[in-house]
Structure 1
Amino acid sequence: MAEENQFFRPVRDFCQRKVMTCGADDALVEAVITMRERNISSMVVLKDGMPDGIFTDRDLRNKVVAPGRSPSELKVGDVMHSPLITIGDDDLLYEALHRMSRTKIHRLVVVDDKGALTGIITDTDILRLQAHSPHQLVLDIEKAASIDDLRQLHTRIQNLVLHLSGTGIAIRDMVKLIANLNDQVLIRLIELLRADKYSDLTDNFAFVVMGSEGRGEQTLSTDQDNAIIYDDELSAAELARLEAFSHDLIDTLISIGVPPCSGGIMARNPQWRHSLSTWKSELNRWLSTPTPENVMTGSMFMDLRALYGRHDLVQTLKQHAYRTLSNDQGFLMRMAQNMTNFVPPLGWFGKIKLERSGPQRGKLDIKKAGIFAITDGIKALAMEANKLEGSTHDRIEALTAAGVLKAEDAKNLLASFDFLVMTRLRGHVEALRAGAELSNYVSMEMLNVMQQGELRLALEQVAKFQGFVKHHFRLHLLRN
């Protein structure tokens, strides 16, 4: 197995199983003596037998020694870190890495599906695996000191994906990796810009991503879909600085290699930078008047995810949309209708219909053939059920748990979606290696006979799903 593949194995394969524990009421001095005797740097604090906190040598330095407190008068609970940040033993090692990076900590307590303590894993454990790895990439992104650094790191992300493609890594894990790394680059870019030119920038805004980036389903360098939501009470001076910042941010993002949106859906454009109340009005307009353009725009917008800033602004908008949709399903019905218009290109006896002319002759647009129908069909169901968080995978699982989808249908749909996305990624990888422009078109020549059979089955599953969506939303009641 390639060393990079280690990061797609479960945490249980790498965590330390021998974990020293104590109680919150234990004397701090006794805990420190145990740590010294055992030559360890942390102890997990238990409450009623379950992990409740953690005490580290850093807590001792920062919370006891530095303030000049007397250790003999303290209990472990006085200085421990709580609430506890944990990781499941079935979660992937890469998720542990991402969680440490996101929360800026050096160790995670590992728990089973019932929340019971099973081990502990540290950033040092992960570093031992390999110096040139997703972990190292995250660390290098965090340490990036310039735009040039980020430009090189963006290229390294592309190269990592090229290396990992075809190694057997599950496509769900692959796209999650791409999304996590791209998120880190963008967050670091914002931090650098604020430190360099915008130290006076307001904190009362959210930079949000939408579309496939909002769902965390990127495959290599998909173009930008982003916006800014800001507080209604910002002053004219604060708005002017936010506007300048949005231009710098998007221009710099393009300069490091992230393509601009051909449709202009970027935060530097005024129509994608609004106050919370204005965004509510925009949502009302899209949702209450489901023209084809409003359906496409509103559908893309509902994938919004706060990447930086005030997450509560995004949640407020989503709750507003849920309330609006609960009173009138017209938008969801039109959205579902639009999804069913993308008929899988299957001919007689299951023959796949390819482009007949033009530069893409003999190729298949894999997004229009099936990916779009699944993502938007699932999105419409998720919007109706208030289950819009996360990726298409997450939404399918939530809809299954809620009884909207049958377990067997969901399983087949997930398999079809994964195959289509993997085929798209393979097409992107081949184009990148050939120095060609990335697109959603794939050549049948890159698929063997068995894979072409899988493609036919996936497209048949898409057609079946479209039938379900038509029935669920009663599309026969719609008038064109």
Structure 2
Amino acid sequence: MAEENQFFRPVRDFCQRSVMTCRADDPLVSAVAIMRERNISSMVVLEDGRPHGIFTDRDLRNKVVAPGRSPVELKVGDVMHSPLATIGEDDVLYEALYRMSRLKIHRLVVVDDAGALSGIITDTDILRLQAHSPHQLVLDIEKAGSIDDLRTLHSRIQALVLHLSGTGIPIRDMVKLIANLNDQVLIRLIALLRADKYADLTDDFAFVVMGSEGRGEQTLSTDQDNAIIYADTLGADEIARLEAFSHELIEALISIGVPPCPGGIMAKNPPWRRSLSGWKMELNRWLSTPTPDNVMTGSMFMDLRALYGRSDLVRALKEHAFATLSEDQGFLMRMAQNMTNFLPPLGWFGKVKLEKSGPHRGRLDIKKAGIFAITDGVKALAIEAHALDGTTHDRIEALTAAGVIKPEDAKNLLASFDFLVMTRLRGHVEALRAGETPTNYVSIDMLNVMQQGELRLALEQVAKFQGFIKHHFRLHLLRN
């Protein structure tokens, strides 16, 4: 196994199982004595037998020694850190790395499926694995000092994915890796711009990403879909500075190597930079008038995720959308209808139909063939169920738990989705290796006989899912 592949193994394989614990009402001096005796730097605090908080030597320095408090009078609960940052023992190691990086912490408590303490993992545990890895790439992004540095790192992300492709890493983990690394680059870029030219920029805004980036499902060929939501309280000067910042940010992204959106869905353009109330009005227009264009735009927008800034603005906008759609399902029905228009290209005896002419003759548009139908069908169900967070995987799992999708159907749908996305990624990788620009078109020739059979089964599953969507949303009631 390649060294990098270790980062896609479960946390259970690397975490420390021997964890010292205490209770919140234990005397602080007793806990410190145990830490000194065992030569450890932290203790997990349990409540009713479950992890509740953590106490570290840093807490002792910052919360007791520095302010001159008397440790004799304190309990562990007075200085512990809570709520606790945890990770499941079946999550992959890279997810632990990403979570520590985003939270700016050095350890995570590992829990099992029931939420019970399973172990602990630290950034030191991960660093021991190797220096040249996804972990090192994250550290280099965090230390990047210029746009030129980020341009180089963006290229390294593509090189890493090319290296890892075809190694058996689950596609769900691969797209999460790509999304996480791209998130880190964008967040670092914003920090650099603010430090260099926009120290006076307001904090009352959110930079959001949408579409596949919003779902955290990026492959190598993903252009920009982003926007800015700002507070209604901003003054004219603050809005003007935010406009200037958005232009420079998007141009910097393009210079790094992130393609611009052909449709102009970028924060530098006025329609994609609005106040919260302005976005609510625009959302109302899309949802109340479900024309084909409004359905496509509104559907993409509903994947929005706050990448930087005030996440509460995004939550407020989603809650507004949920409330509006609860009163009138017309938009959801049109959205569902739109996904059923993308029929899987299956002919007689299950033969896959390919492009008959043009520059992509003999190829298959894998996105239109099935990926779009699954993501948008699942999205429509998730909007209705108010379970819109996360990836398509996360949404299917939430819908299954809510009884909307049967477990067996969910299993088949996930398998089909993963195969189609993996095929798309393989197509991107083959294009890059050939010096071509990646597209959604794939050659059937790159699939062996077994994989071609899997493709037919996946497309058949898409057709079955479309039938379910038609029945669920009662699309027969719609007038064309």
C-alpha offsets along residues 239-271 of structure 1, whole Å, 9 cap, x if unaligned? Answer: 000000000110001111100000000000000
Question: What CA distance in whole angstroms lies between the structure 2 residues aligned with 1:327 and 1:69?
Answer: 56
C-alpha offsets along residues 320-371 of structure 1, whole Å, 9 cap, x if unaligned? Answer: 1111111111111111111111111111111111111111111000001111
Kindly provide the amino acid, as one letter, of the partner of residue 443 in structure 2.
S
Kindly provide the amino acid, as one letter, of the partner of residue 461 in structure 1.
Q
2:420 equivalent to 1:410: no
* Mapping for residues 153-168 of structure 1, pairs under 5 Å: 153-168=153-168
Compute the TM-score of the two structures, normalised by the length of structure 2.
0.98
Following TM superposition, by how much is the alpha carbon of 1:475 offset from its aligned partner in structure 2, in angstroms?
1.4
* Mapping for residues 10-409 of structure 1, pairs under 5 Å: 10-409=10-409
C-alpha offsets along residues 123-168 of structure 1, whole Å, 9 cap, x if unaligned? Answer: 0000111111111111111111111111111111111111111000
Indicate if the aligned counterparts of 2:221 and 2:428 stay in contact, CA closer than 8 A.
Answer: no
Following TM superposition, by how much is the alpha carbon of 1:92 offset from its aligned partner in structure 2, in angstroms?
1.3
SS in 1 for 2:26: coil
Question: What CA distance in whole angstroms lies between the structure 1 residues aligned with 2:57 and 2:301?
Answer: 45
Kindly provide the amino acid, as one letter, of the partner of residue 248 in structure 1.
E
Question: What CA distance in whole angstroms lies between the structure 2 residues aligned with 1:84 and 1:477?
Answer: 49
Following TM superposition, by how much is the alpha carbon of 1:115 offset from its aligned partner in structure 2, in angstroms?
1.9
C-alpha offsets along residues 279-331 of structure 1, whole Å, 9 cap, x if unaligned? Answer: 11111111111111111101100111111111111111111111111111111
Between the two proteins, the alignment pairs up a number of residues equal to 480
Question: What CA distance in whole angstroms lies between the structure 2 residues aligned with 1:117 and 1:410?
Answer: 30
Following TM superposition, by how much is the alpha carbon of 1:60 offset from its aligned partner in structure 2, in angstroms?
1.7
Kindly provide the amino acid, as one letter, of the partner of residue 91 in structure 2.
D
Compute the TM-score of the two structures, normalised by the length of structure 1.
0.98
Following TM superposition, by how much is the alpha carbon of 1:192 offset from its aligned partner in structure 2, in angstroms?
1.0
Kindly provide the amino acid, as one letter, of the partner of residue 8 in structure 1.
F
Q: Which moved more, 1:284-293 or 1:18-27?
A: 18-27
Indicate if the aligned counterparts of 2:363 and 2:442 stay in contact, CA closer than 8 A.
Answer: yes
Kindly provide the amino acid, as one letter, of the partner of residue 296 in structure 1.
M
Q: Unpaired runs of 5+ in structure 2? A: none
Q: Unpaired runs of 5+ in structure 1? A: none
Following TM superposition, by how much is the alpha carbon of 1:26 offset from its aligned partner in structure 2, in angstroms?
2.5
Question: What CA distance in whole angstroms lies between the structure 2 residues aligned with 1:34 and 1:328?
Answer: 61
Kindly provide the amino acid, as one letter, of the partner of residue 83 in structure 1.
P
Following TM superposition, by how much is the alpha carbon of 1:65 offset from its aligned partner in structure 2, in angstroms?
2.1
Following TM superposition, by how much is the alpha carbon of 1:389 offset from its aligned partner in structure 2, in angstroms?
1.0
Following TM superposition, by how much is the alpha carbon of 1:461 offset from its aligned partner in structure 2, in angstroms?
0.7
Following TM superposition, by how much is the alpha carbon of 1:410 offset from its aligned partner in structure 2, in angstroms?
1.1
Question: What CA distance in whole angstroms lies between the structure 2 residues aligned with 1:422 and 1:315?
Answer: 31
Equivalent position of 2:6 in the other structure: 6
Question: What CA distance in whole angstroms lies between the structure 1 residues aligned with 2:24 and 2:320?
Answer: 42
Following TM superposition, by how much is the alpha carbon of 1:20 offset from its aligned partner in structure 2, in angstroms?
1.3
Question: What CA distance in whole angstroms lies between the structure 2 residues aligned with 1:260 and 1:416?
Answer: 30
Following TM superposition, by how much is the alpha carbon of 1:66 offset from its aligned partner in structure 2, in angstroms?
2.1
Question: What CA distance in whole angstroms lies between the structure 1 residues aligned with 2:71 and 2:464?
Answer: 67
SS in 1 for 2:258: coil
Question: What CA distance in whole angstroms lies between the structure 1 residues aligned with 2:457 and 2:49?
Answer: 49
SS in 2 for 1:307: strand
Question: What CA distance in whole angstroms lies between the structure 1 residues aligned with 2:403 and 2:50?
Answer: 32
Question: What CA distance in whole angstroms lies between the structure 2 residues aligned with 1:324 and 1:71?
Answer: 54
SS in 1 for 2:359: coil
SS in 2 for 1:43: strand
